[in-house]
Structure 1
Amino acid sequence: MSDMDSERNSLGGRMRRYAKVGTAVGGLAARVAGERYLGWSLDKDAHASELRTALGGLKGPLMKVAQILSTVPDALPKEYVQELSHLQSNAPAMGWPFVKRRMTTELGPGWQKRFATFEHEAASAASLGQVHRATLDDGRLLAAKLQYPDMSSAVEADLRQLDWIFSIYRRYDKAIDTSQIHAELSARLREELDYAREARHMALYRGMLADEPGVFIPDMVPELSTSRLITMTWLDGTPLMKFLEGEPSLELRNAFALTMFRAWYVPFYFYGVIHGDPHLGNYTVRDDGSVNLLDFGCIRIFPKTFVKGVIDLYRALRDDDEALAVHAYESWGFQNLDRATIDVLNVWARFLYGPLMEDRARRIQESGSGLYGREIAEQVHGELRRLNGVRPPREFVLMDRAALGLGSVFMHLKAEVNWYRLFNDLIEGFDADAMEARQTAALASVGLDRPD
């Protein structure tokens, strides 16, 4: 079978996927509908645990969607968020016979001779593919990231199932209109299937972060890469939770927090680009507290108006400038906002911007417990439901994902940093037109266009 035949978005592939996914998540829609319309009692904790167990062994994008939704406030009930948040990057790997077939498809029948060594066991496995260690004759240690077969069909089937789940959820809870969330997830997941695009993202980040000494990005090996295989240099590092098990000093934890902050937000404020997935499997900690960035599939490119709106809202909250806050929300695409809805949105905004308002070293969250932002999200959710809801613009999906994901990292680190100075150093002298010019040049240098 040709590469095109095996990878195309086929009707048969989608139907097979519907069957698999339906087994895992079909009960969610049925049970929620039963609770809403028939008065059934839904044990959300137990059902959420069952859902996580099912998704954990299910290859493909639905697992990644679950990870993303677990950190988007109010996209799903908290019981599901708590369980889905446990889905990490280490799904069960596919075996060596599968790997040999897939590598032959990508590099041809003599592919093994192009490596000095290629480990049979995967070093890690995630939702869309798995990574194998390898070496070249010149001694370079490599990571070969190989996509699972028929992922295009899986993406389309899973997105259709997700739309179904969202439609059921909207019927019993109208606080958040999820239509734009689905649109954004659809666009980004389809992009993630294209490993050639991810390789360009990697080159983009290497350029944007060239002056950041604490951030390391792999080098791609083009002759051993395709649209379904990325071969890159291997970067040694320690996963965050294992790093914390070693009880590192506050100084080292703070150093890592500072580097993570700059790794995510230098690209955003200087180029209008953000890494939308601070997932634990997407970076590792080096011995000196610097960071390896390992995955570049989930990247979002923003127009200058959106980035300016982020800064405008910060200044509006800092200066108690209601008109500027309204302008910021409208520049993002919020529509028909009344005073009460703006006040509720400001509650969430003050939570996110809170650490940036005080010129002192502090932890990212100094009160509360559990998932980062969960208590405030529940408060905001309740008020929005009372006010007949709101439709968040699609750009917020990955922006909120980044903010909450990084906040969770900083909370785990118990880092004590002057976030105010970090942020104000980045936005000092911000010029939207200059940012757009830098963005245009950076994208053109790696052959990327702005997304839809």
Structure 2
Amino acid sequence: MAFAGRQAAGIGKRALGKSTAEINADIQLRTAQHIFEVLGELKGCATKLGQLLSLYELALPSEIAAPYRTALSQLQDAAPTMLPATVHEAMTTGMGENWRWHFSEFDDRRAAAASIGQVHRAVWRDGRQVAVKVMYPGARQAVLADLEQLRRISVLATVFAPGADVPAVTEAICTCVADELDYAAEADHQRRFAAAYADDPDFVVPNVLTQRGDVIVTEWLHGTPVSRIIESGTPAERSRVGMLIIRFLLSSWSRTGLLYSDPHPGNFRVLPDGRLGVVDFGACTPWPPPGFEELVGELMDATFNGSTADLDAAIRRHRFVRPGRNFDVETLAEGLSAAGEPLTSPTFRLSTAWLRGHVRSALAPRLSNVNRQLDMPAYFTPFARSFLTALGVVCQLETEGPIRAEFARWSPELAAALERHDARRAQPVDLGIVRHLRAVPPGRRASIVG
């Protein structure tokens, strides 16, 4: 109704002599502001939803995306700041009355905002510089209340995805977000990642010093935020960082048994020695679930080497369409083949223009859009969140490199499908290096493929 009201106002302005371009720009600006206002009312989940909406912003034509970009930026900047007295109270609740004993220095000013808390710089008693993550008082209750609201309004999503089991997917999303309220679990996740990537030539995960209640203390990472690399990095540096993000995400579940589900730019730092630092492990899920490797192998084999009948069978076998429902398998095959282009070229350049084209096609509000006919199994939700968020980041970085080899290195099923694709097209197989890399200890891989 709000959008309709803005359109009606636009008609009135047209009568007063405003151009169509001016009216459309005004509607876009007001719509973006309305999105910001609605998200601002969701005190607990606003930032998380804003991160997901940033992918939608990328899908818009550049000439009308600016108002949405501005609104999302406002949303990030609108995170509340705890006053020193509130910080001290939260620290006392989490670590006890003598919490200052653990620190030789503690900066009351916020160093960074987290989605449901804020981070402070401090110095641990042994002299190490540390990051102290403190949850906002009342954040847990606010997030849980927001999730109940999302459950109530999720039925509206059936308008855009009539073929999906929206309640099941909504519940999976709510579970993912609610899990991020558990700082004890987050600390355990981070310890697993820190152990798995200790002394790694590519990555740094800060060690956890302690976790008590809604407070986590970890080593401080000195580095350049990836958001700054996106804005001002050289093409070579942006590509290098983008490939590192891809490598980290693909390697993480084989090395930790966990899927890193929150790969937005604020969670990555480029260290002075060139390694990629990773923070914030609240959104992690045990991975892969049973059958995931088979899904990758069968779906990719059907896409690159099979017939539409093979793709139809794979989609149905892995529950990406509801039983008894028809879908346009020919159109889906064309879409998957086009989207899979980075996996069929030795090198590929991901870009926002490339992403914009595919996302706009996927979200097109046509009744004939095949994506409206498909479902997504609830178990797949964390992977979809991680994949789509990471895709947005690496496309903003304009990443160019051997994306195909990086994916194949960590997925034997995908590598086998790509080798069959090469053989079928009489192309020379370029995946021999992948087999070699799997035989090399993880700590030495960085020096072999840059």
TM-superposed deviation, 1:315: 2.1
- Give the Cα separation in 1 of the matches to 2:45 and 2:371: 33
TM-superposed deviation, 1:377: 1.8
TM-superposed deviation, 1:362: 2.0
Structure 1 letter corresponding to 2:360? E
- Give the Cα separation in 2 of the matches to 1:71 and 1:55: 16
- Give the Cα separation in 1 of the matches to 2:324 and 2:224: 46
Partner of 2:110: 122
Whichever of the two has the greater Rg, that structure is 2
Change (3 A) 1:84 1:153: same
- Give the Cα separation in 2 of the matches to 1:53 and 1:236: 34
Partner of 1:112: 100
Change (3 A) 1:100 1:164: same
Partner of 1:141: 129
TM-superposed deviation, 1:56: 4.9
- Give the Cα separation in 1 of the matches to 2:398 and 2:201: 23
- Give the Cα separation in 1 of the matches to 2:350 and 2:324: 29
TM-superposed deviation, 1:285: 1.5
Change (3 A) 1:53 1:406: same
Contact 1:57 1:92 in 2 (8 A): no
| 1:68 equivalent in alignment to 2:55 | no
Contact 2:118 2:135 in 1 (8 A): yes
| 1:157 equivalent in alignment to 2:145 | yes
Contact 1:89 1:280 in 2 (8 A): no
TM-superposed deviation, 1:124: 0.8
TM-superposed deviation, 1:323: 4.8
- Give the Cα separation in 1 of the matches to 2:178 and 2:155: 21
SS at match of 1:296: coil
Structure 1 letter corresponding to 2:388? L
Contact 1:209 1:267 in 2 (8 A): no
Structure 1 letter corresponding to 2:233? E
Of structures 1 and 2, the one with the larger relative CO (CA 8 A, separation 6+) is 1
| 1:364 equivalent in alignment to 2:350 | yes
Contact 1:184 1:395 in 2 (8 A): yes
TM-superposed deviation, 1:194: 0.5
- Give the Cα separation in 1 of the matches to 2:414 and 2:400: 26
Deviations 1:245-274 (A, max 9, x none): 443351x33322221111101124566632
TM-superposed deviation, 1:50: 2.5
TM-superposed deviation, 1:109: 1.4
TM-superposed deviation, 1:213: 1.9
Partner of 2:262: 277
Partner of 2:34: 50
Deviations 1:34-91 (A, max 9, x none): 99xxxx9995652332331453586422431342355489xxxx98986775444872
Partner of 2:248: 263
Aligned with 2:289 (options 298, 303, 316): 303
SS at match of 2:327: helix
Contact 1:131 1:143 in 2 (8 A): yes
Aligned with 2:276 (options 281, 288, 291): 291
Structure 1 letter corresponding to 2:191? A
Q: How does 1:197-236 map to 2 (within 5 A)?
A: 197-210=185-198, 212-222=200-210, 225-236=211-222
TM-score by length of 1: 0.75
Cα RMSD over matched residues? 3.7
Structure 2 letter corresponding to 1:184? A
Q: How does 1:403-418 map to 2 (within 5 A)?
A: 403-418=387-402
Change (3 A) 1:46 1:55: same
Change (3 A) 1:313 1:430: closer
Moved more, 241-250 or 139-148: 241-250
TM-score by length of 2: 0.75
Change (3 A) 1:336 1:218: same
Contiguous gaps of at least 5 residues in structure 1: 1-29, 432-452
| 1:399 equivalent in alignment to 2:383 | yes
Partner of 1:243: 229
Deviations 1:133-191 (A, max 9, x none): 11023210000101112333212210122123322343577365532331111111121
Q: How does 1:373-388 map to 2 (within 5 A)?
A: 373-379=358-364, 382=366
- Give the Cα separation in 2 of the matches to 1:343 and 1:337: 18
Partner of 2:448: none
Contact 2:132 2:216 in 1 (8 A): yes
| 1:167 equivalent in alignment to 2:152 | no
SS at match of 1:142: strand
Contact 2:294 2:413 in 1 (8 A): no
Change (3 A) 1:68 1:105: same
TM-superposed deviation, 1:211: 7.2
Partner of 2:411: 427
TM-superposed deviation, 1:343: 3.6
SS at match of 1:116: strand
Deviations 1:323-379 (A, max 9, x none): 5434543454323265634344445533543211212x220248547x474223234
Change (3 A) 1:388 1:190: closer
Q: How does 1:328-367 map to 2 (within 5 A)?
A: 328-334=314-320, 335-336=322-323, 340-359=327-346, 361-365=347-351
Give me the identity figure in percent. 27
Change (3 A) 1:336 1:348: farther
Contact 2:128 2:219 in 1 (8 A): yes
Deviations 1:397-430 (A, max 9, x none): 3322322222222222222201111112222378
Moved more, 400-409 or 212-221: 400-409
Structure 2 letter corresponding to 1:64? K
SS at match of 2:315: helix
Change (3 A) 1:105 1:248: same
Aligned residues: 392
- Give the Cα separation in 2 of the matches to 1:116 and 1:408: 40
SS at match of 1:121: coil
TM-superposed deviation, 1:241: 2.7
- Give the Cα separation in 2 of the matches to 1:82 and 1:178: 28
- Give the Cα separation in 1 of the matches to 2:353 and 2:136: 42
SS at match of 2:110: coil
| 1:194 equivalent in alignment to 2:179 | no
Structure 1 letter corresponding to 2:137? P
- Give the Cα separation in 1 of the matches to 2:374 and 2:323: 9
SS at match of 1:395: helix
Contact 2:93 2:213 in 1 (8 A): no
- Give the Cα separation in 2 of the matches to 1:172 and 1:428: 35
